[in-house]
């Protein structure tokens, strides 16, 4: 059925670096192809495809065409034997610089509580939003400031844990790949001292401070209206009452982790800010130690916005302990991390609900000398074993990524980028280039080298997502969506009405619809952008 008709020539539409490997992937059995230079119209390369791979997730027999020998910078298109065409793509010395800037600028577009205007916002400006005080659920009469931060996604909720994941990815990107961010001071409020990436993260950190309950140190799980507003409602028109949902252990652990990280990273630039972050992290840690066993968060009665439920909080606690230990060197945090590490939560995951990977990275980044050698070795070997598993899976995959059929879930593109992050962490700790090459294959997939031949980043690629489930993009009457947004991607679970109706019986990797009603495949979130930014930064060093 579908695989017979689908003839995709898939390329990374953001491009390939001149000196690097270049593969196009063909979704059907075709022997030959040629490459056209778009400026001149000339055929500049003729190639043969390799043996096919039966690819279960895409439902296709995939062949690859290797055109690494083509190195001249330019804009190209691939044509198949019967006139099939790929999207346009670039060959350039540094093909991902614009992409990195776009992925970071997306966070500016996600900002809440400020007007987006002028040259920097371009066509996608809007008035300041969500400035009202919020009601604290369970504390009658208590209302407090709730403004600032980034909207979570296509909706206007603000959720502490997911926000912490997004900031952690950006700060880690800066820690590991500072050269990729050097000298970039383009934000409207930039005074040339803090780099854009660090300045943008303070937007979310400043809001996170407001999510900490004064006195207890616990952190409210989320701040949203009672229900999602209509899909065409602009942020400033979303004026329903805002509610702080109760404190959760997951949110408090994530908060402690990201604040401890910020305390370390901002110290050279702003001692007072760093001290405030550390104090907030310590207060959150005190709440955690005072509340060793708490039930997972569920939405309070009457609140129907995103739940981000998470029953297991030992991963968030482990991250908090490891990050506080890394930042302070204080033994109390080390012994807590050692105890928590014994618990059976995933140690190599970077999902909004599975934050153990950040604890592992924090611990390993201390270096062997400052840690318990047995735990250091266990985590290092475990991380490399996980990376090896991802490498093997990628080798068996037609589109050269590590996702198995069952991994095409809601937000599968986050898994694609999280796996790439893990591979890059493995590169960092082992020096093995093979891991980086595999991570780059994951970026190629995101930017269009997938069975649908679509770039999952708005504004990046000739055939890029055009209709994200993103309220400002739907409500603003601008044809193009807000640029630089990463969408969720294929979800074989068919979790919304639109895909249930239109995508029945499609192979997993084809369960995606570029339609604004498909919130389960085509929404956008800050924590899908953030790992993509981390991965892109690696390839801009």
Strand, coil or helix: 228: coil
Residue 380: CB atoms within 10 Å: 18
Question: How many distinct helices (H) and strands (E) make up the chain?
Answer: 17, 16
Q: Nearest residue by C-beta to ligand G3I?
A: 306
296 binds ligand G3I (CB under 6 A): no
Closest approach of Cβ 165 to ligand 9MR, in Å?
16
Q: Which one of Zn ion, ligand G3I, ligand 9MR, none is in contact with 22 (Cβ closer than 5 to 8 A by kind)?
A: none
End-to-end CA distance of the chain: 44
Within 95-195, residue ranges assigned H as helices are 97-109, 118-121, 160-176
| Distance from C-alpha of 327 to C-alpha of 522, rounded to nearest angstrom | 38
Strands (DSSP E) contained in 67-111 are: 74-80, 89-92
Q: Which one of Zn ion, ligand 9MR, ligand G3I, none is in contact with 231 (Cβ closer than 5 to 8 A by kind)?
A: ligand 9MR
- Quick check: 521 and 489 in contact, CB under 8 A? yes
Q: Which one of Zn ion, ligand 9MR, ligand G3I, none is in contact with 129 (Cβ closer than 5 to 8 A by kind)?
A: Zn ion
Angle at the Cα of 419 from the Cα atoms of 92 and 488, rounded to 5 degrees: 80
Q: Select the span of 130-138, 142-150, 419-427, 517-525 touching ligand G3I (CB under 6 A).
A: 517-525
Q: Which one of ligand G3I, ligand 9MR, Zn ion, none is in contact with 132 (Cβ closer than 5 to 8 A by kind)?
A: none
- What are the residues whose beta carbons fall under 8 Å from the beta carbon of 133, sequence distance 6 or more? 143, 144, 145, 146, 242
Q: Determine which residue in the list 56, 410, 429, 437 makes contact with ligand G3I, applying CB under 6 A.
A: 410
Closest approach of Cβ 515 to ligand 9MR, in Å?
11
Q: Which one of ligand G3I, Zn ion, ligand 9MR, none is in contact with 409 (Cβ closer than 5 to 8 A by kind)?
A: ligand G3I
Closest approach of Cβ 112 to Zn ion, in Å?
3
Q: Select the span of 139-147, 150-158, 324-332, 479-487 touching ligand G3I (CB under 6 A).
A: 150-158
Within 118-266, residue ranges assigned H as helices are 118-121, 160-176, 196-210, 249-266
Closest approach of Cβ 139 to Zn ion, in Å?
23
- Quick check: 125 and 114 in contact, CB under 8 A? no
Within residues 349-408, the interface with ligand G3I by CB under 6 A covers: 406
Residue 431: CB atoms within 10 Å: 9
493 binds ligand G3I (CB under 6 A): yes
Closest approach of Cβ 45 to ligand 9MR, in Å?
43
Strand, coil or helix: 269: coil
Q: Determine which residue in the list 13, 64, 152, 394 makes contact with ligand G3I, applying CB under 6 A.
A: 152
Judged by beta carbon, residue 158 or residue 400, the one nearer ligand G3I is 158
Which residues lie near ligand G3I (CB under 6 A)?
152-153, 155, 157, 306, 308, 406, 409-411, 493, 495, 519, 523, 525
């Amino acid at each position: 059925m579908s695989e017979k008709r689908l003839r995709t020539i898939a390329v990374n539409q953001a491009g390939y670096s001149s000196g690097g490997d270049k593969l196009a992937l063909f979704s059907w059995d075709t022997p030959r192809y040629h490459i056209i230079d778009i400026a001149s119209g000339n055929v500049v390369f003729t190639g043969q495809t390799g043996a096919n791979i039966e690819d279960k997730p895409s439902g296709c027999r995939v062949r690859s065409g290797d055109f690494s020998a083509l190195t001249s910078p330019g804009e190209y298109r691939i044509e198949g034997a019967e006139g099939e065409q790929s999207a346009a793509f670039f060959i350039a010395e540094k093909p991902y610089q614009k992409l990195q800037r776009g992925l970071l600028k997306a966070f500016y577009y996600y900002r809440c509580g400020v007007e987006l205007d002028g040259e920097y916002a371009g066509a996608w400006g809007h008035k300041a939003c969500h400035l009202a005080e919020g009601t604290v659920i369970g504390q009658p009469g208590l209302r407090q400031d709730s403004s600032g931060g980034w909207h979570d996604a296509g909706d206007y909720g603000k959720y502490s844990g997911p926000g912490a994941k997004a900031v952690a990815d950006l700060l880690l990107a800066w820690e590991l790949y500072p050269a990729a961010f050097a000298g970039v001071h383009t934000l409207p409020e930039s005074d040339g001292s803090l780099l854009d990436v660090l300045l943008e993260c303070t937007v979310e950190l400043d809001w996170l401070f407001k999510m900490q309950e004064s006195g207890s140190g616990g952190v409210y799980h989320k701040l949203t209206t009672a229900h999602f507003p209509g899909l065409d409602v602009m942020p400033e028109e979303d004026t329903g009452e805002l509610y702080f949902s109760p404190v959760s252990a997951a949110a408090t652990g994530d908060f402690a982790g990201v604040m401890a990280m910020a305390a370390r990273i901002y110290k050279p630039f702003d001692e007072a800010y760093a001290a405030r972050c550390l104090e907030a992290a310590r207060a959150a840690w005190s709440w955690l130690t005072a509340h060793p066993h708490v039930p997972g968060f569920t939405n309070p009665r009457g609140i129907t916005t995103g739940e981000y439920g998470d029953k297991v909080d030992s991963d968030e606690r482990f991250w908090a302990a490891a990050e506080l230990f890394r930042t302070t060197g204080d033994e109390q945090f080390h012994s807590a991390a050692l105890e928590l590490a014994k618990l059976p939560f995933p140690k190599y995951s970077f999902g909004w609900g599975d934050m153990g990977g950040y604890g592992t990275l924090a611990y390993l980044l201390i270096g062997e000398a400052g840690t318990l050698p047995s735990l250091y070795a266990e985590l290092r070997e475990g991380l490399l074993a996980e990376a090896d598993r991802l490498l093997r899976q990628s080798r068996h995959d037609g589109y050269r990524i590590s996702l198995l059929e069952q991994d095409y879930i809601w937000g599968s593109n986050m898994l694609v980028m999280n796996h790439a992050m893990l591979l890059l962490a493995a590169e960092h700790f082992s020096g093995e280039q093979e891991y980086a090459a595999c991570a780059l294959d994951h970026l190629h997939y995101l930017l269009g080298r997938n069975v649908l031949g679509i770039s999952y980043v708005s504004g990046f690629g000739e055939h890029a997502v055009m209709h994200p489930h993103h309220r400002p993009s739907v409500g603003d009457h601008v044809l193009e969506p807000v640029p630089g947004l990463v969408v969720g991607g294929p979800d074989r679970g068919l979790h919304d009405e639109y895909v249930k109706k239109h995508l029945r019986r499609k192979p997993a990797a084809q369960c995606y619809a570029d339609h604004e009603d498909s919130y389960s495949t085509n929404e956008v979130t800050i924590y899908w952008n953030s790992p993509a930014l981390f991965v892109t930064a690696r390839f801009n060093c």
